[in-house]
Chains A and B, each alone.
Chain A
Amino acid sequence: MVLVMVLLELPGRAIMTHTLGLFAKEKELRFSDVKKLTEYLDPEVDRALKYLKLNHFIRAKSTKLPDMNRTVLVYSITARGRAAWEAIEIYGRAIEEREDVLGRQEVQEVREVLQV
């Protein structure tokens, strides 16, 4: 479970997993799309995208903005990112199923961290 552990060891891990979850649902997202969907601050979005890219959870492609003379990056999930997200989802479902043993509060805490 190294992929998941990489994410869970991070400070600000809820932002990372939340952002990764967005990419699992959307084909491509730009900086501004992530910001709109999450309402995180610019430095938080910047850090999340750079971290996920650095660790090959997402990949970056250049694109020219229509009607504007700007070339920006658009991000999409990688095979590694999708595998990590699937593992996170499975883990989230598994602990929910054992809430009777683990306790509601503990399960809630894990769900908040994983954003599942």
Chain B
Amino acid sequence: MVRVFLLGPNRWPSTTTDPEAGLKIRRSLIQDNEDLDAEWVLMEDSKRPGTMTAKFLAIVKDPATTHVFFLWPRDCKMAGPEDELALWQALKELTGVAPELYLFHQAGVLEVNPVRGEHEVAILDSQGRSPYLRELLQYGVFLQEWMDLEDLRREIRNVLRSDVGVPVRQHRGVVHFGSRADESRSGTPSG
């Protein structure tokens, strides 16, 4: 069973007036994929007593948590989520074992270029960010780009279905109408 710990900023660049826009987006992403055989965890829903650090570590150290999905919109303030990434890095550094981290980065956050016979990757959206964040990619992170919110919805589902191989939940006598069909982008990349 796949269990995804879904992280991201609460303030979303396009809806800065709503302090919980990011949380609403994360909840809606979970709702989009409720037909899949996966469990979801949000920090905000954790009932564990103690500090936020203790809560975070309890979730990522739980062997049942198989993946961390991190949403990174371009030019977004995200002090708390940056700290969470640093904690994930610390866990990987100290133990060598951590849930697989998928970085869902909006176009413009990272760049991938063929340089000296390899696909080099670098963080572009690093101004004002923690120096620890700039080291994140060295720890082995799966990368998935998205353009806008609709694309993010598609790519979350595509990663779950195609990359991770999460099956559709087997319903027993209950029929859900209007569930989203899997979608993939096709076409050839430019360049």
Contact = CB atoms under 8 A, between A and B. Distances in A.
Contacts of B164: 79
A71 B137 contact: yes
B121 A51 contact: no
B137 A62 contact: yes
Contacts of B119: 30-31, 46, 49, 60, 72-73
Contacts of B162: 56, 78-81
Contacts of A65: 118
A64 B138 contact: yes
Nearest to A49: B119
B126 to A, nearest CB: 13
Contacts of B159: 56, 59
Contacts of A61: 140-143
B165 interface: yes
Given A10-B188, A50-B189, A70-B118, A79 B140 contact: no
Interface string B37-60: 000000000000000000000000
Residue among B112, B117, B119, B163 having the largest count of chain A Cβ atoms under 10 Å: B119
B117 A35 contact: yes
Interface residues of B, number: 29
Interface residues of A, number: 32
Contacts of A72: 118-121
A40 to B, nearest CB: 12
B184 interface: yes
A99 interface: no
Interface string A26-56: 0000111001000000100111011100111
A71 B159 CA distance: 22
30 contacts: A35-B117, A47-B189, A49-B119, A50-B191, A51-B188, A54-B185, A54-B187, A56-B159, A56-B163, A56-B184, A60-B112, A60-B119, A60-B143, A61-B140, A61-B141, A62-B121, A62-B139, A62-B140, A63-B138, A64-B138, A65-B118, A71-B121, A71-B137, A72-B118, A73-B119, A73-B120, A79-B164, A80-B161, A80-B163, A80-B165
